[in-house]
Amino acid sequence: MARTPGRWTGGTLTARDILKPHKVADAVFHPAWIPPSLDPAVDRLKRIRVVAGAVASIGVYTVLAGGFDVTELLENALTASAVLLILTPFTVGVMLLVWRRTGSLRQLRRPLLDSLALLLLFIGSVVALVLLVQTVNATHNPLVVIGAGMTMMWMLGFVARGAFRVTGNFFGTGAVHRCLPALLATVTSWLVAVPDLVTGDLHGLGLTLGVVFILGAPVTVTGIALLETGRLRRRYGIRLGAHPAGHPPAPGPVPPMPPGPPSGHPHLPPQGNPFGAPQGNPYGPPPGSPYVPPQPHPGSGFVPGQGGGNPYAPGAGGNPYAPHNPQPPYGP
C-alpha cells in the first residue's frame, strides 16, 4: 500500500511551523495514522501523571538532590532510549505470539512498521540532542557554539515535547492494539524503577523518600493502565489477549450538529405560536370564489342564471301586486 501525501503529519505542518519545535514535535511524534482515543478521560489522567511526574522530578533534583547533573541526565536519557529499543520490540513480539493463535498477523504488519519507525525516530532525536550538547561543551569556536547552541535549544524543546507525546500514545502502538500502549508503559516503568531499587540508587534521597520517589512512577502508571484496559473491556469489548481483528468496530466520530438559524439558539424551534392559526382565514373563500353572487343584469329584474334584482317584479321591476293601469274595456 503506497503512502499518501501528508499521511504522517496530516498535511497540517507548514514552513512557518519549522521554527516552532512544539508544533513540529506534535506532527512528528503524534502522526495522523494513530487512531483517536476511545476514552478522553484516561488521556487526561495520562497528561496529569506526566506533568506531575515532571514537577516532582524537578523538585526532587533541584531542592533535595542539590540540582541537575547534566552528564547524569544525558546518561539517563541514553539508557532509557536503549531500554525502549530493546524492551518495546520484545514485548510486542510476545503479544504477537499470543495473537497469532486466533488470527493472522499479516494485517498488523503496516501498523507495526509505523510504530517501529516512530520509536527509531524518537531515539534518534535523543541521540542527536546528546551529541549536540557534547559538541557545545567540547568546542571553543564561537561560531560553532552559537550555531550548535541554537540548534540544541530547538532540539531540547522538540525532544521534550516529543517525550510528552510518546508517553501518551507509546509510539503509536494503539494502531496495532488498543491495549498495547498501557501494557508497554507498565512494563517499561517497572523495568526502569526496579534497577534503582536493587542497586540502591535513591538519587541522593533518604531510604523512605527515595523508595516513594522511585516507585511513584510505576505505581501510578500501572493504576492508570489497569483503569484504561478495564474501561476498554467493559465499554468496547476490547481485551489484551484477543486478536485485534476480533474486536468489535470502534464507534465513529460524533456527527456535527446541523447548522442552526443565523441568530438565536440552534436547538430552539422557530419562534411563534405553533398552535396558532396561520396568516389569514383558512376557512374563508379564496380570491375569486365561484360562490360570490354575480352582479345584476343591467336593464332587467331577474334574469335566470344571472341573478340580481327582484325575481317577482314584472318587466323592469316593481310591485307585482300593484295595479298596472289596465285600460277600461268599455272606455269611450
Question: Whose CA is closest to 227, among 176, 182, 173?
Answer: 182
Tens digit of pLDDT for each residue in 128-168? Answer: 998 888 888 888 888 888 888 899 899 989 998 998 899 88
Q: What are the residues whose beta carbons fall under 8 Å from the beta carbon of 231, sequence distance 6 or more?
A: 39, 42
Torsion of the alpha carbons at 238, 240, 243 and 244, rounded to the nearest 10: 50
What are the sequence ranges of the domains in the chain?
A: 44-242
Q: What is the mean pLDDT of residues 302-322?
A: 52
Distances (CA, A) of 266 to 269, 273, 274: 8, 18, 17
Which of 113-127, 221-235, 304-318 is least confident? 304-318
CA-to-CA distance for 18 and 43, rounded, in angstroms?
27
Tens digit of pLDDT for each residue in 16-56? Answer: 888 899 999 999 999 999 988 888 888 888 788 777 766 66
Q: What are the residues whose beta carbons fall under 8 Å from the beta carbon of 273, sequence distance 6 or more?
A: none
Q: Which amino acid is residue 22, in one-letter code?
A: H
Tens digit of pLDDT for each residue in 160-192? Answer: 899 889 988 889 999 999 999 999 989 988 888
In the prediction, which pLDDT does 251 show?
64
Contact present, 82 and 226 (Cβ < 8 Å) = no
- Decide: residue 189, CB within 10 A, 0-12 exposed, 13-18 middle, 19+ buried: buried
Comparison of pLDDT for 251 and 278, the residue scoring more:
251
**What integer best gives the mean pLDDT of the chain?**
76
Comparison of pLDDT for 286 and 166, the residue scoring more:
166
In the prediction, which pLDDT does 1 show?
41
pLDDT at 118 over 90: yes
